[in-house]
């Protein structure tokens, strides 16, 4: 239907002109939609992740040229859990190639854990992944996958996590 994160379907200049100061690039829905477009166009599966990373890099460059700060999302889907470190390294290397990390924040979203009924990773799993991400890229890191009232204190206590990317979470 008409539900999901449609985060980068506007030009960077137009968003800057109306007063936006931040943009989200690389959100899981954006990555999925770019990959699907490429599949429909006949792209070979082994090249899609690289092409998506290169396109996201161009979007980051445009956003930065327009004066926008960037929240760059990275994360693995259910089929990639066993290759988590390689996937994250690939996403960071391609997406941030040649990018100045000032005014840049990374968001780790384990795609396999997002959504109703999904089980988020444990705090120790998040801490381990955050350590990997910080080793790969020194930018601030927020967590964005299944943040709930029940796990928010444990996630907030992880030294390598600098905040949360919160969407439809409700805290009562």
Give CA torsion, residues 56, 81, 137, 149, to 10 deg. 100
71 SS3 class: strand
- Sheet with 69-74, edge to edge strand ranges: 22-25, 69-74, 104-108, 141-143
Q: Of 27, 29, 36, 46, which residue is the catalytic one?
A: 27
* 109 carries an active-site annotation: yes
Alpha carbon distance 120, 146 (integer Å): 5
Give CA torsion, residues 52, 55, 57, 58, to 10 deg. 180
Q: Among candidates 111, 106, 85, which has minimal Cα distance to 160?
A: 106
Q: Of 36, 47, 109, 150, which residue is the catalytic one?
A: 109
Catalytic residues: 27, 109
């Amino acid at each position: 239907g008409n539900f999901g994160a449609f985060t980068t379907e506007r030009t960077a200049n137009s968003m800057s002109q109306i007063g936006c100061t931040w943009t989200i690039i690389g959100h899981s829905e954006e990555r999925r939609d770019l990959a699907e477009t490429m599949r429909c166009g006949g792209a070979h599966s082994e090249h899609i992740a690289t092409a998506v990373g290169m396109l996201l890099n161009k979007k980051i460059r445009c956003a930065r040229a327009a004066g926008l700060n960037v929240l760059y999302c990275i994360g693995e889907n259910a089929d990639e859990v066993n290759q988590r470190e390689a996937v994250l390294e690939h996403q960071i290397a391609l997406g941030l190639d040649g990018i100045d990390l000032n005014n840049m924040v990374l968001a780790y979203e384990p795609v396999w854990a997002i959504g109703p009924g999904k089980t988020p990773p444990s705090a120790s799993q998040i801490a381990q992944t955050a350590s990997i991400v910080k080793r790969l890229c020194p930018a601030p890191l927020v967590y964005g996958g299944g943040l709930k009232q029940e796990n928010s204190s444990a996630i907030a206590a992880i030294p390598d996590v600098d905040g949360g990317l919160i969407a439809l979470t409700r805290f009562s």
